[in-house]
Structures are given as C-alpha cells and as structure tokens.
Copies of this chain bind each other. A is one copy, B any other.
Amino acid sequence: MEHVEVFKALSNKARLQILQWLKDPTKNFPAEGCCENGVCVGQIQLKMGVTQSTASEYLSLLQRTGLLTVTRQGQWTYYKRNEDAIRELGKLILEDL
C-alpha cells in the first residue's frame, strides 16, 4: 500500500470519524455490536447515518490501507483500529515526509 492511498483514505470526514469512534468502542457503540475484535459493520453504519453499502466500502477501504483490521466471526464482520499501523504512519510523517 502506497502512502498516497493511506492519505486518500484519511481525506474524508466520515472515515476520520470512524477512526475516532473506534478509539472507544464500548463508549460509542451498543455492547451487542462490540467484541474484542472490534465493532460490526451494522453498528457503524447506524452511527454514520449512511447506507449499508457506503459503510461497508469505507470500512474495507480503511482496512485495505492497513488502518483497520478485520475479523469475520459468524455472520458479523468486526473492524478494529490497527494501532501499530497508525503509530507507523505518525512516525513516517515525523521522519520521512
């Protein structure tokens, strides 16, 4: 994944918002949508106020860039922040941008 792609993923208010919400899943989402692997698509969609397809596409984009991790569990897909990748990005900007 090129850095350009990561910055593209971040250049959208809704996607930045998702990353913020996922900093504290239990505070921002009902418990039944959360597990140790993150938050399911449906709950994020509800909170975003967009269609299911839009939420799904945003989440999978963030995952493709590495900013989120994804875990399928039964019929649910849980997305979670990838703190390592976020830290790497911060370091990259400090050291290489």
Chain A interface residues (CB < 8 Å from chain B): 2-5, 7-8, 10-13, 16, 19, 86-87, 89-91, 93-94, 97
Contacts and interface: CB of A to CB of B under 8 A. Distances in A.
A86 B96 CA distance: 10
A70 to B, nearest CB: 19
Contact of A93 (B5, B8, B13, B93): B93
Chain copies in the assembled complex:
2
A3 B2 CA distance: 20
Contacts of A5: 11
Nearest to A19: B97
A5 B94 CA distance: 18
A90 B94 contact: yes
